[in-house]
Amino acid sequence: MNLNTPTDLQIKIGQLLLFGWQGETPAAARAVNSHAAALIDELAVGGVILMGRNVGSLEETRAMLAEMQELAAARGLPPLFVATDQEGGRVSRFIPPHYTRFPVAKTIGDTADFDNARQAARAIAQELKAVGLNWDFAPVLDVNNNPKNPVIGDRSYGDDPDLVAKMGVAAVRGFQDDAGLLACGKHFPGHGDTEVDSHLALPTIGVDRARLDAVELVPFRAAIAAGLAGIMTSHILFTELDAALPATLSPTILTGILRGDLGYEGLIITDCLEMKGVADQWGSAEASVLALEAGADILLCCHTWETQVAIRDAVTAAVRNGRITEARIEESLARIAAAKKRWISKQNVIAEIDFAGHRALSERVTAAAAGE
């Protein structure tokens, strides 16, 4: 972690990067260690992601993130996006005893009460903002339409596209309108009808566009209309749309469908580029270049320093050799700057959280789903 000071071009590219960090010990991972500091000092990243390994008590995590924002400011960088996956249920990085365990999406869907989705999202957002986060990679907008799906399942609100759409919109309202936290719908254009986990291999979905319009795209259209700030791509090969490239790497899907047909103007972020769904065939570095060519704004890499450096260097080389134009980079930089101006402020961290009320909400929703 002793790279040269980033060039002006590398600082621009850094704003397209949202990276995580590791530590040799649990305590080191919960601190601004050498990996975390190098993300800012040497890669000039635009954002960081907190995995479970990075989360301590409210006070510990708040101090750590304040230090990271101060480090970015001292380097003359814009405020950092600080993101996590806090869906509720099994995909939760902030867990008891320091934080509230919120119900999984299916439990909320089973209540058939859209206000439950809004209240849960608002409460999750308040707890995240209390430690200095400004972006949650939620809600899951996938329709759970394949019972053999190993990765989505109860992370989805259900198997009815209209229900998922209405629950998803309610969650976006809770995150963004009520709590002022960026939301991120995932995994575009839909991860529900797979039998392979894209963390482990590349799933394939062979349905046509008409089926996608009738099922998978319904929640995304609704959330976009509700002002969804971010959308995360899926590492899935939709063979009837693009037989060669998965959604994350496909101009047909990201630029043609998401930007063009759906009219989406917000942030597009990739799922983690270390996942085997793209890394095995293309490699994380080449996949990062392909993702930007496809229309993504932000490249996500959650774990490994060497891979993160390779991603930055691959994008830098692609701009220098003309494969990616600086105009294409500036296009994403403008979206990122607008989002940061709107959603990140000095008032982002809130001091007091009604943890007792949040626990009561969680218990009430769980009981309602069980018919109690």
Active site residues: 199, 271
Query: How far is 127 from 55, CA to CA, in rounded Å?
Result: 12
Burial readout 148-164 (b: 16 or more C-beta within 10 A, e: otherwise): ebebbbbbbbbbbbebb
Task: Report whether 225 contacts 165 (CB < 8 A).
Answer: no
Burial readout 58-76 (b: 16 or more C-beta within 10 A, e: otherwise): beebbbbbeebbebbeeee
Residue 205: phi and psi, rounded to 5, are -125, 125
Residue 347 CB burial class (10 angstroms; 0-12, 13-18, ≥19): exposed
